[in-house]
Chains A and B, each alone.
Chain A
Amino acid sequence: QVQLQESGPGLVKPSQTLSLTCTVSGGSISSGGYYWSWIRQHPGKGLEWIGYIYYSGSTYYNPSLKSRVTISVDTSKNQFSLKLSSVTAADTAVYYCARVNGSSTIDYWGQGTLVTVSS
């Protein structure tokens, strides 16, 4: 059973960089065939794609966030990470890491982590 777990600071100051890591267990990122993704949900709102990384390192970012987002992978640790720069209060959200399979299905989700942007 694949499991994903987000970790990182729950509070980030405005203009700083939000950094989260997703640790994958029960499956290897290196095995290929999956898109390791970040998705966020603003309080009381819907879901928003941030982007994904493939095990090879290729990435896709939501155009609305592209200038501020970097997603990286560490296959040796079976982890992938999110960095979102120049954050504002509008970036306060629950951040989920997730696995997307070849049929565009999000088949596994992390539990989510709330990140608050505040001074």
Chain B
Amino acid sequence: QSALTQPASVSGSPGQSITISCTGTSSDVGSYNLVSWYQQHPGKAPKLMIYEGSKRPSGVSNRFSGSKSGNTASLTISGLQAEDEADYYCCSYAGSSTLWVFGGGTKLTVL
């Protein structure tokens, strides 16, 4: 069982927007603005999409955005494209004892 809870799957049609949630606790997501999101295509290494909750690395489309409310972080993808179909993982800092925890991953299907 993962420390952070994500929906197992989400889906959307091209052009639509979807949101993936990542629920933690007051010991991780709720206490730190250090949530990151990773995209993983089959057989590939994960790729950083969002860091520090809402910042985008250079080269990542502005269709990807991140936010947080309380103990839940969210990744929103707008203007869905076929290439967005992948698994998405959240990760949060969880303090000096645990350090980092992952979510269980969400499979995004573009219909």
Contact = CB atoms under 8 A, between A and B. Distances in A.
Contact of A46 (B2, B36, B52, B57): B2
Interface string B25-69: 000000010101010000011111001100001000000000000
A45 to B, nearest CB: 8
Nearest to A61: B99
Interface residues of B, number: 24
B48 A106 contact: yes
Interface residues of A, number: 17
Interface stretch (B11-19, B72-80, B101-109): B101-109
Nearest to A35: B99
Contacts of A52: 99
A105 B104 contact: no
Contact of B46 (A48, A100, A103, A109): A109
Given A46-B105, A49-B99, A106 B91 contact: yes
B52 A47 contact: no
B34 A96 contact: no
A9 B32 CA distance: 38
Given A47-B105, A106-B46, 13 more contacts: A46-B102, A46-B105, A47-B89, A49-B100, A49-B101, A52-B99, A96-B46, A104-B92, A105-B51, A106-B36, A106-B38, A107-B48, A109-B45
Interface of B: 2, 32, 34, 36, 38, 44-48, 51-52, 57, 89, 91-93, 99-105
21 contacts: A46-B89, A46-B102, A46-B103, A46-B104, A47-B38, A49-B99, A49-B102, A100-B100, A104-B32, A104-B34, A104-B36, A104-B92, A105-B36, A105-B48, A106-B38, A106-B48, A107-B48, A107-B51, A109-B47, A111-B44, A111-B45
Shortest Cβ-Cβ A-B pairs, 9 listed: A104-B93, A105-B51, A109-B45, A104-B34, A46-B105, A47-B102, A46-B104, A105-B36, A112-B45
